[in-house]
Amino acid sequence: MLEDLRTLVEIESPSRHPEALATSARTLADLLERRLGGRAELVHGDAGPHVHWSGGGDPQVLVLGHHDTVFPLGTLERRPFQVAEGRVTGPGVFDMLGGLVQAVHGLATLEDRSGVEILVTADEEVGSGTSRAVIEERARACGAVLVAEGAAEGGAVKTGRKGCGTFRVEVTGRASHAGLEPDAGVNALVEAARQVLTITAMGRPERGTTVTPTVASAGTVDNVVPAQATVVVDVRVETADEKARVEAAFAGLRPHLDGARIAVHGFVDRPPMPESASAGLFAMARQIVPDLVGTAVGGGSDGNFTAALGVPTLDGLGAVGGGAHADHEYLLVDAMVERALLVAGLVDEIRRARRTGAWPTTRS
């Protein structure tokens, strides 16, 4: 597993870099074929190729992941792949190349891989715009989804996730000379500042809703009243009702300054993943690892899409470690084998439930 992980990490596969992602996809396809047999297919996406592998037979379970990472090309030179003191470090080891490798090696322990599919996408870190359709198609076909994203703190699997989205608020004012005619302008920066206060007030922590302005830009030079400003906002919600409320609140934003105009783009594009979507699969996982812990988390994944379809989904089955998206990202070596075998055990339990009639016969 460590050898295969090194291979994937040392390619570097940042989101929105199609050439690097194409190399990563070809390498991942080769890995799947070498470890599992059969043929891996590259599925075209404008952001980069997605990788799909099938063990043949009637689809029964989808193992889902992504091979894009948040780290730009060149990160590896500064932070190379290393194994030391029981930890693996390097760009993408935890989110989520380690989970992919573990899942592949876990499935390799099964003599019969029929009914199993693997889908590894190229744009999860940037919203899954080119992969959502194929994710939903294969989730519906398989009827059960195991997401190989990194585990929650302490190795807990992720039984629920908040819905999440990004909003972009664009403010248009009117430029003027800041010294000679400041009142002749409409200050987009001042308007944006007032909008930030309104936007922040949309949060409802008691309902699990966070609305967080994260990026802002305005102006051109220091002696011109700014005519343009932009505010980017991260939104997380636990329920569909809160999704609708927040989206309506953004649509209802109105300017405070005479002459200012506002345009809002975005929505909550990853629906909430309720814990009910994972309950059956989590119970199966507890049969395999009795002390396994489950928890709901604020971050989103492609599991949000599959759960929203009504397809049973269990997330966080990947690497045990931490530091996702950060320079201290790491994976714990000692947990790799157990997590690989957990994925394999869940696949066996799902297929057994189907054979015995214990699995739900209807799908959304």
Active site residue ranges: 68, 124
pLDDT at 361: 55
Instruction: List, run by run, the mean pLDDT of 10-residue segments along the chain (364 residues).
Output: 98 97 98 97 96 97 98 97 98 98 98 97 95 98 98 97 97 97 97 98 97 97 97 96 97 98 96 95 97 95 96 98 96 98 98 90 46
Asked whether the beta carbons of 76 and 110 are under 8 A apart, the reply is: no
pLDDT at 360: 74
Tell me which amino acid residue 171 is. Answer: V
Residue ranges of domains in the chain, CATH in brackets:
2-162+273-356 (3.40.630.10), 163-270 (3.30.70.360)
Asked whether the beta carbons of 155 and 335 are under 8 A apart, the reply is: yes
SS (H, E, C) 229-269: EEEEEEEEECCHHHHHHHHHHHHCCCCCCCCCEEEEEEEEE
Cα–Cα distance between 39 and 267 in angstroms, integer? Answer: 37
The residue behind tokens 């396809």 is 29
pLDDT at 45: 94
- In the chain, what's the furthest Cα-to-Cα distance? 82
pLDDT at 359: 86
